Structure 1
C-alpha cells in the first residue's frame, strides 16, 4: 500500500485507513458545531453541582440525549455503554457497508476507558454501605472489558475484542492496538476508540490530588491550577484499505517515573513523539499541527513543552491544547483529540475548503502563557493558509504511559 508523498518522504507500510469516525463531547455532536467551538472563544464547559460535596465544579459535559438501553445488552447497560452506542449509531450504516463481505472472525474491537460503567453503581453501592439496601449489585457493567464485549455482541462480530485501561492514554493506545492487529493480519477491520463518562469517583479522586481547576483550565498558562474533567465517546473504523485520512504512525513509551507524575524532563513524551515520526517515516517539520496533551497542570505542561523543544527543536510546529474546550476526557481523551485532528484533515480535503485555500486549527486558550513555556507557536488564529498534510496528537497518562499518534492525508 503506497501513495505519492511530498518532501520525498517514503510512506510507512504500517499506515491504515480511517474509513469513518465520530466524536461526541462537550463540543457537541455536529461537525459544524465542533469546528465553530474550537475556532472561537466560546465556553463549552458546564458548572455542575452534586459531583463534589463541597463545591460546584467545571466539567466537559456532553449536552445531548443518549440512546436508550438495549434489551440484549441489559446486564451490561450503563450510561458509559449508552454513550458508546450513541456514537456508534452515527456511523453504523457506514460500518455495516464496510464490513458486509468480511468474515465476522476478522472483525475486531479495541476500546479504551477508565470509568467503564462505575457511575451507574455509585448510588447502589452507597446505599449498600449505609445499610439502606440489600439489593444485589451487578458488577458486570463496570468491568473494564465490558465496553468492547458489549459492542461486539451488539454488532455480532466474532474477532478479538478487548478494552485497554491505561488512564489518560487508554483510547490512543486502543488505536495503536487496532493498527497492530491489522498489520499482524489478525483482523481486516478494527473498530477502535474510547468512552468515558462523568462520575463522582474520578472527580473526587482528582480533587483529593488537588488537581482540579477552580475555573476553566488554562493549558500552559501563567495561572494554570489544574484540570477540568470531561466526558467523550469517539470511534474510528480502521482497515487495510486506503482512505482520505490515514493513521500513519504511533509511538509509545513508559516513564515508570512516578505513579501520578511524568518524568520532569519529558523524556518519555519525547521518545513517544519520535517513535511515531519514525514509524510514519516522517521528519518533525512534516507535522503541520500538534495537539498537545496540555492538561493545565504545572508538571504536565512543563514537561510536555520540554519534550516538544527536544523533538521540534529546529521547527516551530503550530500547537494547541483543546482541553479547555472538552475537559480532560481521561480514557477517552486520546480518541476525542484524534477525532479533532481527523476533522481538521477531513475539512481541509473538502472542495469548499480547498477552493478557499485555507484550513482551520483549534485555538489555544487565550490567557497569558507561562513565561517559561512561551516561545512556542501556539495557535492563536484559527485560519491557516498553509496546507496541512500530517498532524500529531499526544496522550500522557499516570505512571508515564505515553503515546503519540500521527494522522495524515493519503494523497498530496
Structure 2
C-alpha cells in the first residue's frame, strides 16, 4: 500500500500542456491539443483585449485534461512512490497572474478536502511562472506554511526566444503550429509573459535603439511597420503595445514574476530548480534598425543556437536563481531522450519529466534525501549543480 502520510503533490503543467474545450457545445468540442492540432477551431481561441474572455459570442473555452504523453509517466511514477498527485490544469492562454488566482482557489479547496495544510509542488516549463505568480500572492508566513517543497523543472523564469517566434512568425518549438497562429497568439497574455527579458536577449544593430531599449515598450524595440498608416496595422501595434505594458505589471520584481533570491532563507531551502542541458538553444535575437518597410527588424536568420539549455529555454533564463536556490542541470542524451519521448520526437524540453534521471532527482528531493554530497547524481551521469 502507498504511504498516504506523504504530503500530496500538485503538478502544474506548462503552456499547451492542458487541452482546451469549448464547453458551450453539446459535445464539448476540443479546440486545442498539443498532440493533435484542431486547425478548424483554433481561431475560436482568440481572447478579447481584457485577456480573460473569448472573442466568440457563443464560445466558452475551459481547461480539460492534461496531455498524456508529457505527463502521464511522471504522474504514475509519483503515485507508485506513494504520493497522491493532484493535477492543476489551467487555461494557458491567459496571464499567469490569472492562473495563479485559480491555483490559490484550487489549493484552498484541497486544504479543506484533505484537511492538510501543506503540499509539494512540481512545475514544468511555464507552470513555473504560474507557481511564481502564486507565491507572489502569498505572504512569507503563508508561503512557509503551505509549501513543503517546490520543484521547478525547465522554468522560463526570464522568458524564451521561442515566444518571440510565436508572435512574429507563428512557428516555434512551443507550438509548432500553422503560420496564422501568430495572429491568435497575439491575443494571449501568457505568450507575452514568456518573451525574453534576460540580458542580451536582443542584440541591436543601432546603439541608439540599444540605449533606449525597454522590454515592456513595444515602440522602443519591437518589430513594427515603419510609418504605419493603415488602420488595421495601427490597431495591431496598439494592441501589442498594450499587452506588453501589462507584462510590466506582472514582471515587476527585477524583470521576474517572483524573485526567489529575495525571499526568506527558510523558503529558499524548500525550493529546487532542475534545468535541461546539452542542447543547443537560441539565446538572442539580432535586431536591425530598418529593413524594407520594417523598423527594428528581427533577423531570425542571423540567430545561432549558441547557448546551452534544453532547446527551448536557455540557461540565462532557467538558472537565474543559481546563487540562492539549488539549481541542477540534467544533460540530454540523444538516445535516452528519443526513448523518453515515445518516438514522438526528441524534444528534450517537452518530455523532460519522462526522463529517469530527472525523476530520481525529484524523488530524492521530495524525500529529503539530500544530506550527502552530490545527492543528485545518477548512474546515467550528466547531472550536475549549476554554479
Same fold (TM over 0.5): no
- Does 1 or 2 have the higher relative contact order (CA < 8 Å, sep 6+)? 1
